[in-house]
Chain A
């Protein structure tokens, strides 16, 4: 036997009222939130672009090396 019971409709309605009370309260976001976030995004974007180029270069280098090894294996 379970000690859990279905809450009544009125209990659910009261719970909904209490959650609505939470919804009415809007916590402030600190004034520095936006500038700090944009600064981090700018810094990460500045690093991400060269990293993408470097990644592309390394991929191309890997592909060239793999092709060279495959060609050598065919000759042998």
Chain B
């Protein structure tokens, strides 16, 4: 039997799960958490650092939980959730603005990539840690756009939905963010093999 006409929403669609969770179905909320905790945690980590990433992620999910009735499904659930994550991270950054980021605060977890020789793996991990620190040194708006676009691979439209910036502003900020990132790398003694 073939399906004709408008596709029905699958029971495990984000929008369906969100509606069920808004009606008090915690199992549906749990499914949403399982599905999206990876991206929420990665964005939070690259925004606020390893130590606070889980706190910010929990805060973001709880904020989302209490606002589920406000989710209309006009935009993808992921963009809606990342918008809340972004705001939770901004609030966190504002609270601890005076504190410098210490290199020792970055966790020492293994890269998820396939098996590599230990020396190469260690070097890759070290590089990722240094790059994450550089990301956290960027201005807040540049950090946002670089993490969402160049690390998480969101489209310009999705970034506009997450940040509430106009599309043209997203593109302009991305250009300036990349420039700031390159200047930060150039200012470092570590050799990033950046061409002139």
Contacts and interface: CB of A to CB of B under 8 A. Distances in A.
Given A14-B194, A19-B150, A30 B181 contact: no
A31 B112 CA distance: 16
A53 interface: no
A22 B47 CA distance: 13
Contacts of B122: none
B152 interface: yes
Nearest to B39: A26
Contacts of B181: 15, 19
Contacts of B152: 23
B26 interface: yes
Interface residues on A, range: 20 to 34
Contact of A11 (B34, B37, B45, B196): B196
Interface in A31-70: 33-34, 36-38, 40-42, 44-45, 48
A33 B132 contact: no
A54 B181 CA distance: 51
A14 B195 contact: yes
B48 interface: no
A23 B42 CA distance: 9
Given A27-B50, A33-B54, A40-B62, A22 B132 contact: yes
Nearest to A36: B58
A42 B21 CA distance: 11
A8 B112 CA distance: 31
A34 B113 CA distance: 24
B166 interface: no
Contacts of A45: 24, 26, 65
A21 B124 contact: yes
Given A22-B151, A27-B42, A27-B109, 15 more contacts: A4-B183, A7-B182, A12-B178, A14-B193, A15-B182, A19-B146, A20-B150, A21-B128, A22-B128, A33-B41, A33-B57, A34-B30, A38-B30, A41-B62, A45-B65
Sort A-B residue pairs by CB-CB distance and give the 6 closest, nearest first. A10-B195, A19-B150, A26-B112, A7-B182, A25-B111, A25-B128
Interface of B: 24, 26, 29-30, 33-34, 37-38, 41-42, 45-46, 50, 53-54, 57-58, 61-62, 65-66, 107, 109, 111-113, 124-125, 127-128, 131-132, 135, 146, 150-153, 178-179, 181-183, 185, 192-196
5 contacts: A15-B182, A25-B128, A37-B62, A38-B30, A44-B66
Interface of A: 4, 6-8, 10-12, 14-16, 18-30, 33-34, 36-38, 40-42, 44-45, 48
